[in-house]
Structure 1
């Protein structure tokens, strides 16, 4: 059965929702021991302007968690805090059991960040890009291992030796994920990963994300795409003006109800 925290239109109800979200967090304390990403009472402000407000959620091994919200909801700020670019005003963020602010190098070695548009060198081929970025991390991989990663992300073999400037966005995303796989990063942070992709590329990308999760990766994606989040996520957190106002769980062997999430998302311009 899908778990849903109702989202209503009054400030009193918003307060109730926040309390319910906190209650859910307490109910999941036993699961937190297994969490790979732990966000605990996280708040972040800039010049007394609250951007994130008491966020509580976690992502387990093999789980896909989608943080869903509109522009300005605080999605990218949450990712930047997980990457150590923002220092929490209150609360804490842990990755693989380590406080981000105290173990930044460790956290970044465990984390693969995929922005909306993967930043790769356009004049280099996919192989050259991958080899270059692996060398920066002092990681050595054989040609066979690189080929296997390209095959795993379904990057066409005929494109491996072509310059990136000839690639579509979907192909660039696949190359970036192949690089993350070769780095053996167990945690993926995805920022609007399917924005600008055509329907076929979105389906391919979602299937790849599911396969990574099945292999044990922890995946946190932020998005404003209700349909895409429902198609791929095990859990969805609805973010509104920096607050987590609801969560949705996928039923066993099923997907989260798109209409239910859309109705909640649409309220008050979430």
Structure 2
């Protein structure tokens, strides 16, 4: 599981992330919910090793995630808002190349199985991804996370720009990741996405987690009310 403890990040006089702590258990989805500038993406960047924290720590299965580059490389999968793949490669070729880069042993049959599990129809496995929609590109990225048995999957605004059918497909794929006991951290400002997917929802503002919601039997209306109540306070 992922444990974030007192994580902070300062840029000169600006505190982007201010002493936040949370836990994402295996097989659990955790949503960081907040407006632009809340500190969500900076938090992701620290977990990915793109930014060094000013204080605090993050542990993945008890190991220091921020200090261990190989752990990040081998056990984390990052799905950005717009997934960058090689347009001149097919879905299968993209995954094979990513597997080679990350020293992930794989067979062609395993790649096809992962793509199928991620919800990409077989007719698209050998098509060039240059013609893929955002949702289809996400499926290729998530198929690679499934293939490499990622322990932590980080997603940045994954439902932005998705139509209702693609959003439904995305939710189904996230459920697959949960079943594989991955810890999933989603950064979003989409209240409905958070309600449909998350086990826990952390509302973030000005670098702080200002509310933490256990999303079990809680209505979207109640989450929405708590979200706006926090900013009205």
Counterpart Cα distance in 1 of 2:52 and 2:180: 31
Please say if 1:155 is aligned against 2:117: no
CA offset digits 1:42-69 (Å, max 9, x no partner): 1110012100111011101111101101
TM-score, normalised with respect to structure 1: 0.82
CA offset digits 1:15-40 (Å, max 9, x no partner): xxxxxxxxxxxxxxxxxxxxx11111
1:213 to 156, 174, 178: 178
Computing the radius of gyration from Cα coordinates, the structure with the larger value is 1
Q: Secondary structure at the match of 2:66?
A: helix
TM-score, normalised with respect to structure 2: 0.95
Whether the 8 Å CA contact 1:73–1:241 is kept in 2: the answer is: yes
Counterpart Cα distance in 2 of 1:107 and 1:124: 25
Q: 1:269, CA displacement in angstroms?
A: 7.7
- Structure 2 gaps, min length 5: none
Provide the residue aligned with 1:266 in structure 2.
228
Provide the residue aligned with 1:80 in structure 2.
45
Please say if 1:185 is aligned against 2:147: no
Whether the 8 Å CA contact 2:47–2:66 is kept in 1: the answer is: no
Counterpart Cα distance in 2 of 1:115 and 1:229: 17
Q: 1:179, CA displacement in angstroms?
A: 1.1
Aligned-pair RMSD on alpha carbons?
1.5
Counterpart Cα distance in 2 of 1:224 and 1:148: 32
Counterpart Cα distance in 2 of 1:134 and 1:66: 28
- Structure 1 gaps, min length 5: 1-35
CA offset digits 1:158-193 (Å, max 9, x no partner): 111111111111000000111111112121011111
